Amino acid sequence: MHSRQKPSAPGHKRDLAAHGGALSMSHNDTRSFFNFSQLVLSAGHLKSPPVLKHSKITYFEVEILDVQSKKQICIVDKVPPSSTLLDVKHKFHKACPQWYPSRVGLQLERNGPYLKDSINIQSLAVSSIITLYFTDLGQQVGWTTFFLTEYTGPLLIYLLFYIRLSTIYDQVESRKNFRHPVVHLACFCHCLHYIRHLLETLFVHKFSGGHTPLKNMIKGCAFYWGFTSWIAYYINHPQYTPPSFGHRQISFAALAFLMCEAGNHFINVALAHQNHSGLKACFPSPTYNPFTWLFLLVSCPNYTYEIGSWISFTVMTQTLPVGIFAFLMVIQMSLWAQKKHKLYLKRFYPEVRRKAAMIPIIF
């Protein structure tokens, strides 16, 4: 029989050490796992990282065609939905530099109205491709430039006739004849009228359009400048005849002229501030100012006061050129008043339905 050998002391110690090391390692792992599990339980449920959602923005393509030939001029691509028609015009100008935005007219249909610059491009879209028709509006000028040019001319032209230049009147005859006081009063009233227009253009009126064709300014200047030359020539002529009824006629007409000028100014101020109440837009109502009470009768009292000024000036000077100019102004103002009255009826029907356009009962 073979006797069992006892392990030697050093080897036995090594085996015990190895076995003890293994036991200690497993014990440490157990403690680490237990600590980790406690940490997870105290932290709560683990949340998965948020998934990033990629939002898709739909861009539009605007195809611009010539209104006459229907040929494609260019395509404005990658137009955001929030863009306005003015943004499209600026991009169109980059593609075609010869047409700057103010002279570009865009229509949804060939015979349709020109679209406003403030229109949102998304409101025109039926699909991702929008087709617009282009019209060259020609050379454009701003409304402020338009009115400043139109009103500055009569102011300066009248003063040139008032000082009686030797190139216009005979200098010897001008020195002999005495100037009637109505000549000086007419110069004051005429200058006051156009100075008021100039100041209101700069500080009162707010123009929604932005630009108008240059040819319109030329026509307006030809009308106002031409009539001013004709009127000023007769009133400041050395042989001018004063009104038939003398100072009574002059005083009454001058007072009416000044009242109409004041009324015109107060009405223009009221119209300029009609949408500043912070509420829904409403038709201007009369205030404590008596000049605004004309709003009770007509929808365009500024035109009523304007023709009142020229009729008063006609009576005050008693000249044929002023009478013809006043008659043409009545026709023009009545046309403008009828057009505005129709717009007011659409926007403010309950408030405007019983009012006349410019003159009670007649217009």
Global confidence as pTM: 0.78
In order of 88, 93, 103, 170, the CA distances from 97 in angstroms are: 13, 5, 12, 54
What residues contact residue 51 under an 8 Å CB cut-off, 6+ apart? none
State what percent of residues in the chain have pLDDT above 90. Answer: 61
Mean pLDDT, range 20-26, rounded to an integer:
45
Where are the domains positioned within the chain? 60-138, 139-241, 242-362
Among candidates 251, 256, 234, which has minimal Cα distance to 181? 251
CA distance 342 to 297: 16
Predicted local distance difference test score (pLDDT) of residue 126: 85
Written as six digits, the tokens of 223 are 């009308």
Question: Residue 52: is its pLDDT beyond 60?
Answer: no
Predicted local distance difference test score (pLDDT) of residue 178: 86
pLDDT in tens, 139-184: 999 999 999 999 999 999 999 999 998 889 988 888 877 899 999 9
Report which residue type is found at 331: I
CA distance 185 to 326: 18
The CATH fold of domain 60-138: Ubiquitin-like (UB roll) (3.10.20)
pLDDT in tens, 192-220: 999 999 999 999 998 876 789 999 999 99
Q: 71 by DSSP, 3-state: which?
A: coil
Instruction: Give 45: exposed, middle or buried? Use CB within 10 Å, 0-12, 13-18, 19+.
Output: exposed
Among candidates 321, 319, 191, 193, which has minimal Cα distance to 249? 319
Lowest mean pLDDT across 9-13, 120-124, 207-211, 319-323: 9-13
Beta strands in the chain (DSSP E): 60-66, 72-79, 104-107, 129-136, 140-142, 211-213
Strand partners, 74: 64
Beta strands in 287-341 (DSSP E): none
Q: How confident is the model at residue 246 (pLDDT cuts 50, 70, 90)?
A: very high
Residue 5 DSSP class: P
Mean pLDDT, range 116-132, rounded to an integer:
90
